[in-house]
Structure 1
Amino acid sequence: MTTRGYCHCRATTWAFEGPPTWSCYCHCDDCRRNCASPVVAWLGMPLRDFEWTGAAPETRQSSEGVRRHFCATCGTPMGFEAAHYAGGMHLYAATMERPQTFVPEFHVNWQAKLPWLAMEDDLPKYDGTLLHAPKDLSDYE
């Protein structure tokens, strides 16, 4: 199974093989501010299963050990890699070719959810990052 995605102008594209390792909503301030969105939907997968298939993204270090990827043409945020999630690629679900197929498994950083955002679903809700989810999702090996 191949999952594909692209930016707004379709210059920067990506693909990965197999199912994602995890899929979730994140409510942390970093994610919200990076996308100017009240919540962000993410997919995570091992780098070994992932490739940029179009124009290479522009990559910037947003904080210590965190590299964020953007389309160099239109500026669409595409995803990030982080030292504390070594070996993994994290992609915005909204960049999926078919975002309607995204199936979130849980919420992270629930304690940071904006009070005016109504998201009352039956998914598990964890305070803290992926490191605090039911299993350690930081190891992609």
Structure 2
Amino acid sequence: MQLHQGGCFCGAVRYVVTAEPFNSTLCHCTMCRRASGAPCVAWFSVPRAGLHFSAGSPAFYHSSPGARRGFCAACGTQLTFEDDRSPGELDVTTASLDDPELVPPDDHTFMQSHLRWLQLADSLPRYLRTRGEGAREVP
């Protein structure tokens, strides 16, 4: 298992990922777009015990019932997402890694909210909402 390190833009918050990333995706949901100011956000998941902050601590914003986003209070970089429906998991923004190339996305999620002017040229699976049981892939 390779350790992954990352942090915010200003360096006030740093973290180490000590678990194998899973569920790597490009999320197109409206909430991720609004929270990041970007057309989609690359995320990966780890067990909660698999992420350790090595410098500083994130601030948190409850973006919807049962969900909160961790970010640097100094520069605003979004770092994590937690959902009460997945209590053992923590999502980490892939682009906050020192080397985001090491955790490429496996798919696109929430394509129902995809911005039509964003042209996707990859061949990754695309899901209307989430992947998993009963997920509907978009052609």
Task: Specify the alignment match of 2:101 in structure 1.
Answer: 100
Q: TM (normalized to structure 1)?
A: 0.88
* Partner in structure 1 of residue 21 of structure 2: 20
Q: Equivalent residue of 1:42, what SS?
A: strand
- For 2:73 and 2:47, the matched residues in 1 are separated by 23
Post-superposition Cα deviations, 1:5-62, rounded to whole Å, max 9, x if no partner, equal: 1100111011111320220100100000000000110011110111111101111211
Q: For each residue in 1:101-122, what CA deviation from the matched residue of structure 2 results, as whole angstroms up to 9, or x when unmatched?
A: 2311011111211000011311
CA distance in 2, matches of 1:81, 1:95: 16
Ranges of 4+ aligned residues in structure 1 off by more than 3 Å: none
SS at the partner of 1:84?
coil
Matched with 2:84 is 83
Q: Which runs of 5+ in 1 are unaligned?
A: 137-141
Give the structure-2-normalised TM-score.
Answer: 0.89
CA RMSD, Structure 1 to Structure 2 (Å):
1.4
Q: How many residues are treated as equivalent by the alignment?
A: 133
Percent sequence identity over matched residues?
34
Q: 1:75, CA displacement in angstroms?
A: 1.5
Match of 1:45 in 2: 46
2:69 aligned residue? 68
Alignment of structure 1 residues 97-136 onto 2, 5 Å: 97-129=98-130, 133-134=131-132
